């Protein structure tokens, strides 16, 4: 279902193949819309839905939202006051509204709301009662557990495509290590 | 005379205390929006390092530097574009060690903690107060980065392909498996290279789509916000690579 060589395709290649209708489904962030539109003859038949992770229709439909591209001022700046002023300016009406309307991504600023692109809005129309869950990349506790258990989810994701790989056994082992790590590190 | 001297000293001490209270308890200048200087007086050069192609295009086409200089005429900005996010992290890692990080940089949610010792607290800024997500990513109660966008993850699909294969949008994980298999069976028979799902997963992916697929495949549904262990339910095995 993932093609002959899913680990050999880069994100750009996969997006282009989807845009050419060599694939039926692709999971991307909202930024993906611009990339697909740029590679496709037409996006008239393009639709979106949120990834359904629930097992049954009786469960809440949860989907992920996350902040992206966190602009920050570094401690190495020789001009932190000006740098902070630049951040303030970037997120002011002098710059931010024009930029956020240029990209397909959603606004992060409460004072500059943005209507979703009609293609992306379809996902909301299909799940009007969906529950948003914020993805934070793990945080310190997750990172500590990840280090303690040597849990590499990217490597595991790639291993899942290897013929003969036993995912059930790997997850069972990971479960044990995870529980032990939580006890050791005192993380509830 | 002595009483007068004491009163003057007390007044001076009080003025000093009040001056200290006017700013934040943290001495970081980043907490005061725009600083004490007027915009026209702020001067200097900034290096603003990015990886985003779309942002670079917009910056160039809309003369960001010129617009910034309308308010800060004595300031200049060098926008440094790094090829992609993978090279960006390599570069920032080296520069952090060499004390040469740019004035303004970007972070992803999963790199904020990595650079937390190199970022100023922006909690006191208007930008942070007006941002819907910034506070939720604070580390040790410090806003170390202000997210430019709110990112949603979508499954894009071709409606005409779905219609031809006789499938509809799945609303559960099991339905997604069934839909994908039907799509593959329908189109794969005549098109050997057809993929029901285009993944684009190189051996060392740097973006976050892979863990989402992993989480979904393993039925965890975890948000990574709460470090709960993987689901105790028996996860489905990944489909083998089709020949």
Q: Residue A71: CB partners within 8 Å, gap ≥ 6?
A: A87, A90, A91, B104, B105, B106, B145, B146, B147, B148
In the numeric block, which tokens belong to residue A159?
A: 């291993």
β strands within chain A, DSSP E: 23-29, 46-49, 62-73, 106-107, 131-134
Query: Hey, are the CB atoms on B137 and A136 less than 8 Å from each other?
Result: yes
pLDDT tens per residue, range A38-69: 999 999 999 999 999 999 999 999 998 889 99
Query: Hey, are the CB atoms on A161 and B218 less than 8 Å from each other?
Result: no
* Conformational region of residue B14, where left means phi above 0, alpha means psi within -120 to 50, and beta covers everything else: alpha
Residue B26: the pLDDT is 36
Burial A79-108 (b: 16+ CB within 10 A, else e): bbbbbbbbbbbbbbeebbbebbeebbbbbb
Label residue B31 by pLDDT band (50, 70, 90). Answer: very low
Angle at B152 between CA A54 and CA A6, to 5 degrees: 70
**Of all residues in chain A, what percent carry a pLDDT higher than 90?**
57
In total, the C-beta contacts within 8 angstroms joining chain A to chain B are 503
DSSP bridge pairs for B106: A71
In the numeric block, which tokens belong to residue B4?
A: 């007068």
Task: Identify the residue with better confidence: B9 or B179.
Answer: B179
Query: Hey, are the CB atoms on B147 and A167 less than 8 Å from each other?
Result: no
**Of all residues in chain B, what percent carry a pLDDT higher than 70?**
66
pLDDT tens per residue, range A115-131: 888 999 999 999 999 98
CA B20 to chain centroid, in Å, comes to 33
Which of A13, A52, A63 shows the shortest C-beta gap to B200? A13
In the numeric block, the tokens 């700046």 are attached to A77
Whole-angstrom distance, CA of residue B30 vs CA of residue B128: 11
B-chain CB neighbours of A140 within 8 Å are 113, 139
- State the DSSP code for A161: T
Instruction: Report the residue count for chain A.
Output: 188
Residue A30: the pLDDT is 84
Label residue B18 by pLDDT band (50, 70, 90). Answer: very low
pLDDT tens per residue, range B129-170: 999 889 888 999 999 999 999 988 899 999 999 999 999 999
* Cβ atoms B188, B182 nearer than 8 A: no
Whole-angstrom distance, CA of residue B53 vs CA of residue B96: 23
Find, in chain A, the residue whose alpha carbon is nearest to that of B96: A76
pLDDT tens per residue, range B209-240: 444 444 443 333 333 333 333 333 322 333 32
* Conformational region of residue A138, where left means phi above 0, alpha means psi within -120 to 50, and beta covers everything else: left
Residue A65: the pLDDT is 82
Output phi, psi for A119, to 5 deg: -65, -45
Burial B49-80 (b: 16+ CB within 10 A, else e): bbbbeebbebbeeeebbeebeebbeebebebe
Q: How far is A77 from chain B (nearest CA, A)?
A: 4
Query: Hey, are the CB atoms on B46 and A7 less than 8 Å from each other?
Result: no
Whole-angstrom distance, CA of residue B106 vs CA of residue B38: 26
Q: How far is B4 from chain A (nearest CA, A)?
A: 40
Whole-angstrom distance, CA of residue A64 vs CA of residue A43: 24
B-chain CB neighbours of A46 within 8 Å are 156-159
The end-to-end CA distance of chain B, in Å, is: 100
For the segment A21-34, the average pLDDT, to the nearest whole number, is 91
For the segment B34-58, the average pLDDT, to the nearest whole number, is 85
* Cβ atoms A95, A89 nearer than 8 A: yes
A-chain CB neighbours of B105 within 8 Å are 71-72, 74
Whole-angstrom distance, CA of residue A102 vs CA of residue A114: 11
Taking 90 as the threshold, does the pLDDT of residue A162 lie above it?
Answer: no
Residue B118: the pLDDT is 98
Distances (CA, A) of B100 to A75, A77, B85: 10, 8, 18
Residue B212: the pLDDT is 46
Residue B37: the pLDDT is 62
Q: How far is A120 from chain B (nearest CA, A)?
A: 8
Quote the radius of gyration of chain A (alpha carbons, Å): 21
Residue A137: the pLDDT is 61
Residue A64: the pLDDT is 84
Query: Hey, are the CB atoms on A64 and B152 less than 8 Å from each other?
Result: yes
Highest mean pLDDT: which range of A59-73, A84-98, B26-40:
A84-98
Residue B242: the pLDDT is 31
Taking 90 as the threshold, does the pLDDT of residue A13 lie above it?
Answer: no
Find, in chain B, the residue whose alpha carbon is nearest to that of A158: B203
Residue A147: the pLDDT is 85
Q: How far is B100 from chain A (nearest CA, A)?
A: 6
pLDDT tens per residue, range A93-108: 999 999 999 987 889 9
Cβ neighbourhood burial of A34 (10 Å; 0-12, 13-18, 19+): middle
Average pLDDT value over all residues in chain B: 76
């Amino acid at each position: 279902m993932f093609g002959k060589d899913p680990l050999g395709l880069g994100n750009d290649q996969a997006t282009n193949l989807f845009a050419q209708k060599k694939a039926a489904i692709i999971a991307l962030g909202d930024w993906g819309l611009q990339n697909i539109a740029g590679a496709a003859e037409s996006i008239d038949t393009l639709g979106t839905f949120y990834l359904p992770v629930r097992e049954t229709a009786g469960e809440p439909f949860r989907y992920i939202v996350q902040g992206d591209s966190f602009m920050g001022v570094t401690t190495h700046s020789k001009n932190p006051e000006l740098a902070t002023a630049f951040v303030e300016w970037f997120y002011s009406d002098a710059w931010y509204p024009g930029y956020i309307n240029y990209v397909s991504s959603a606004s992060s600023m409460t004072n500059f709301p943005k209507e979703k692109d009609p293609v992306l809005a379809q996902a909301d129309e299909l799940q009007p009662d969906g529950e948003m869950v914020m993805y934070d990349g793990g945080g310190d506790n997750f990172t500590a557990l990840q280090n303690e258990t040597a849990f590499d989810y990217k490597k595991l994701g790639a291993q899942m495509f290897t013929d003969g790989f036993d995912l059930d056994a790997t997850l069972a082992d990971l479960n044990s290590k995870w529980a032990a790590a939580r006890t050791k590190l005192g993380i509830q | 005379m002595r009483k007068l001297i004491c009163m003057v000293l007390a007044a001076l001490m009080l003025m000093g205390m009040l001056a200290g209270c006017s700013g934040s308890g943290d001495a970081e200048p980043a907490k005061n929006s725009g600083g004490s200087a007027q915009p026209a007086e702020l001067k200097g050069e900034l290096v603003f390092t990015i990886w985003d192609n779309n942002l670079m295009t917009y910056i160039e086409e809309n003369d960001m530097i010129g617009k910034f200089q309308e308010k800060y005429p004595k300031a200049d900005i060098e926008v440094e574009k790094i090829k992609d996010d993978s090279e960006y992290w390599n570069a920032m890692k080296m520069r952090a060690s060499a004390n040469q990080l740019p004035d303004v940089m970007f972070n992803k949610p999963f790199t904020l903690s990595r650079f937390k010792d190199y970022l100023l607290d922006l909690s006191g800024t208007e930008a942070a107060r007006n941002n819907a997500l910034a506070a939720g990513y604070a580390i040790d109660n410090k806003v170390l980065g202000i997210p430019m966008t709110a990112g949603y993850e979508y499954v894009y699909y071709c409606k005409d392909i779905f219609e031809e294969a006789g499938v509809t949008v799945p609303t559960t994980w099991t339905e997604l498996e069934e839909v994908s298999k039907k799509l593959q069976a329908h189109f794969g028979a005549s098109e050997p290279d057809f993929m029901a799902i285009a993944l684009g997963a190189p051996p060392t992916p740097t973006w976050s789509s892979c863990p989402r697929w992993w989480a979904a495949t393993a039925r965890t549904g975890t948000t990574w916000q709460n470090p709960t262990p993987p689901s105790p339910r028996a996860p489905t095995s990944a489909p083998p690579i089709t020949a």
